[in-house]
């Protein structure tokens, strides 16, 4: 079964949103290129809430998520994101069923 999480980020202001989005874009490129255990890493904006970003992450397993967390590009994101944020909330998910084979 897969392992996932949803993270809700609230950035400080429009300038912080722009910088956060750039950092996230750089990170997602590295994830795409270097993390075969990451099935989906999607970043969303929220209509009517310009300072909110939602990340949806899905991994083949919890160990794939743990490997993701050890990657240099992820460590950089985790360190640098703080300067742009007012808050964040993480919800971890255990898969019950899916359309994925």
Predicted confidence (pLDDT) per residue in 30-48, tens digit? 999 999 999 999 999 999 9
What average pLDDT does the segment 85-90 reach?
A: 98
What's this model's pTM, rounded to 2 decimal places? Answer: 0.92
Cα–Cα distance measured from residue 84 to residue 16, given in angstroms and rounded to the nearest whole number? 5
What average pLDDT does the segment 55-74 reach?
A: 97
Please say whether the beta carbons of 54 and 5 come within 8 A: no
Query: DSSP of 18-37, one letter per residue?
Result: HHHHHHHHHHHHHHHHH-TT
Averaged confidence pLDDT in the chain? 96
- Report whether pLDDT(95) > 90: no
pLDDT in the model for residue 55: 98
Cα–Cα distance measured from residue 80 to residue 44, given in angstroms and rounded to the nearest whole number? 19
Helix axes of 14-34 and 72-80: crossing angle, nearest 10 degrees = 170
Please say whether the beta carbons of 85 and 16 come within 8 A: yes
Give the domain ranges of the chain.
3-94
Percent above pLDDT 70 for the chain:
99
CATH architecture of 3-94: 2-Layer Sandwich (3.30)
């Amino acid at each position: 079964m897969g392992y996932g999480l949803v993270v809700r980020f609230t950035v400080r202001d429009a300038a912080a949103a722009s910088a956060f989005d750039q950092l996230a874009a750089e990170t997602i490129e590295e994830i795409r290129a270097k993390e075969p255990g990451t099935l989906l890493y999607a970043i969303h904006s929220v209509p009517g809430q310009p300072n909110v970003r939602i990340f949806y992450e899905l991994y083949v397993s919890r160990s794939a998520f743990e490997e993701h967390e050890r990657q240099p590009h992820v460590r950089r994101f985790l360190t640098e994101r703080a300067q742009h944020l007012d808050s964040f909330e993480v919800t971890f998910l255990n898969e019950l069923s899916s359309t994925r084979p």
